[in-house]
Structure 1
């Protein structure tokens, strides 16, 4: 009788152990995995916002720098315009401007084109065509025929440095070695050699190597 009881009790114990193991195994299977390899969720990548490029102000047009009523007669486009002249050295720039054709002819006769173009920085007081037309034809013909005199007159209209309206005012020594006196500002400017006083009709015209002031008179210099 004891043997049967032990056998029955032993079977119950074995069954209990087996059940415990089974439940433990099931518990392990039900636990969610914490392994990083099983996590399929990903944080979306963020692209930094692009900062819009700051717009740089456009360079000032050459036409915005000039002054004088005579500027209205300068071509508005092409190589003879203000924006065209700024790209070339002064003698070349003047040759493209129809207001300065007589001056350009005189510069060619005097062989000064290369000298003016090669000068690093100069200011030129450029007589407009009407200024030469005001000279009696016989006198103008005589000037154009005398290369030395013509060279003296032309260099009398050139001073050193690219001078803006503020810097040009006062006395300036010319390439001919004499002096010009410039008075006024953008509202009205004159240039005088002590004999002839000319009005600046269009000033502060930029070229590649010079600043040009177009004037309404030809200054021959002191006799």
Structure 2
């Protein structure tokens, strides 16, 4: 009887190790994580329109300051529609939300700026324990993906 119990524990332990490994390898990339969240529909549409899907599914790591749908809703509809039709301008705006490397919330609070993939710097400020990126409030942090991290912001930030 002892042998059977030991065998069951060993099999269960092996199954847990395999399950943990499968979970770790199955973690989604930035794009798939944004799609699965359900609150980044406009961002995902924009990423597709700018042909940036393959980039954001790439090796990375990337840090994305991701405006949610409510943030995009603050942009006048005509302006957003025009931006979605101008691939170069759209790519310019979207890459302004991306920083090369994985910058977690603990790191962000130590920074005053971060250079974006677009080439310009984002200004980072901490006021009353809240992080702001170019004035946009960071409302959720450290959504880890297989190729980086997403921080949710409450506004679309624009390059100069």
Shorter-normalised TM-score: what interval? 0.7 to 0.9
The yes-or-no answer on 1:121 pairing with 2:75 is: no
Q: TM-score, normalised by structure 2?
A: 0.79
Q: Which has the higher strand share?
A: 2
Q: Is the 8 A contact 2:60 2:100 kept in 1?
A: no
The yes-or-no answer on 1:189 pairing with 2:141 is: no
Q: 1:218 aligns with which of 123, 148, 156?
A: 156
Distance 1:146 1:213 in 2: 25
The yes-or-no answer on 1:132 pairing with 2:43 is: no
Counterpart for residue 203 of structure 1 = 141
**Which structure exhibits the higher relative contact order, with contacts defined as CA atoms closer than 8 Å and separated by 6 or more residues?**
2
Deviations 1:70-103 (A, max 9, x none): xxxxxxxxxxxxx99x811101111111111110
Deviation at 1:204, TM superposition (A): 1.3
Aligned residue pairs total 139
Q: Is the 8 A contact 1:100 1:127 kept in 2?
A: yes
Q: 1:172 aligns with which of 110, 114, 135?
A: 114
Q: Gaps spanning 5+ residues in structure 1: where?
A: 1-82
What secondary structure sits across from 1:176 in the alignment? coil
Greater Rg by CA: 1
Q: 2:101 aligns with which of 154, 161, 164?
A: 161
Distance 2:128 2:57 in 1: 26
Matches within 5 A, 1:1-223: 87-168=27-108, 169-184=111-126, 187-192=129-134, 197-222=135-160
What secondary structure sits across from 1:204 in the alignment? strand
Q: Gaps spanning 5+ residues in structure 2: where?
A: 1-22
